[in-house]
Amino acid sequence: MAGKLRMRSIDEGDFKGKAVLLRVDINSPVDKQTKRIINDNRIRKSVPTIRDLSEQGAKLVLMSHQGDTTDYASLISMHEHAKRLSEALGKTVDFIEDIAGPAAAERIERLKDGDILLLDNLRYFTEEVSTFEDSVKLDPAGMGRAYLVRRLAPLFDCYVNDAFSAAHRNAPSMVAFQELLPSYGGRLLIGELGALQAITEDPERPCVFMLGGSRAGDAFGMIQRVLSDNSADAILTSGLVGQIFMLADGLSLGKASERVIEEKGYGRYIVEAAGYLSRYRNKIVYPRDVAFERHGSREEVQVDALPQDEMIFDIGKDTVSLFAIEIERSKTIFVNGPVGIYEDDISSTGTRNLWKVVEEANGFTVVGGGDTVTSFTNFTDTTKLNYVSTAGGALIRYLSGVRLPLLEAMGRAYDRV
Ligand code: 3PG
In tens, the pLDDT along 77-119 reads 999 999 999 999 999 999 999 999 999 999 999 999 999 999 9
Going from N- to C-terminal start, the domains of the chain cover 8-190+402-416, 205-362
Do 8-190+402-416 and 205-362 come out as alike in CATH topology? Answer: yes
Mean pLDDT of 299-326: 96
User: Is the Cβ–Cβ distance between 102 and 125 less than 8 Å?
Assistant: no
Report the pLDDT value the prediction gives residue 33, as an integer from 0 to 100.
93
79-96: burial string, b at 16+ Cβ within 10 Å, e else: ebbbbbbbebbebebebb
Write the CA distances from 7 to 181, 184, 208, integer angstroms.
13, 6, 31
Candidates 27, 71, 396: which one to mutate for ligand 1, based on the most atoms within 8 Å of Cβ? Answer: 27
Instruction: Give the angle 392-393-398 at the CA atoms, nearest 5°.
Output: 100
pLDDT band at 399 (very low <50, low <70, confident <90, very high): confident
Atom of ligand 1 nearest to the CA of 70: 10
| DSSP helix/strand/coil, 210 | strand
> Looking at 287-388, which runs of residues are DSSP E strands?
289-294, 297-302, 314-315, 332-336, 364-367, 387-388
In tens, the pLDDT along 150-170 reads 999 999 999 999 999 999 999
pLDDT at 3 over 60: no
pLDDT at 171 over 80: yes
Dihedral sign, Cα of residue 166, residue 34, residue 342, residue 386: positive
- 172 vs 148: CA distance, rounded Å: 7
Atom of ligand 1 nearest to the CA of 65: 5
In tens, the pLDDT along 372-397 reads 998 999 999 999 999 899 998 899 88
- 276 vs 224: CA distance, rounded Å: 8
DSSP-assigned letter for residue 321: H
Mean pLDDT of 399-408: 90
Question: For the chain, what percentages of helix, strand and coil (3-state, to nearest 5) are there?
Answer: 45, 15, 40
pLDDT at 259 over 90: yes
Whether the CB of 144 sits within 6 Å of ligand 1: no
Q: Whose CA is nearest to atom 7 of ligand 1?
A: 166
User: Is the Cβ–Cβ distance between 410 and 178 less than 8 Å?
Assistant: yes
Report the pLDDT value the prediction gives residue 238, as an integer from 0 to 100.
98
Atom of ligand 1 nearest to the CA of 130: 11
Fold of the domain spanning 8-190+402-416: Rossmann fold (3.40.50)
Report the pLDDT value the prediction gives residue 198, as an integer from 0 to 100.
67
Q: Whose CA is nearest to atom 11 of ligand 1?
A: 130
- 108 vs 98: CA distance, rounded Å: 11
Which class would CATH give 205-362? alpha beta
CA of 64 to the centre of ligand 1 (A): 11
The 10 Å Cβ neighbour count of residue 44 is 16
Atom of ligand 1 nearest to the CA of 370: 2
Encoded amino acid at 203, one letter: P
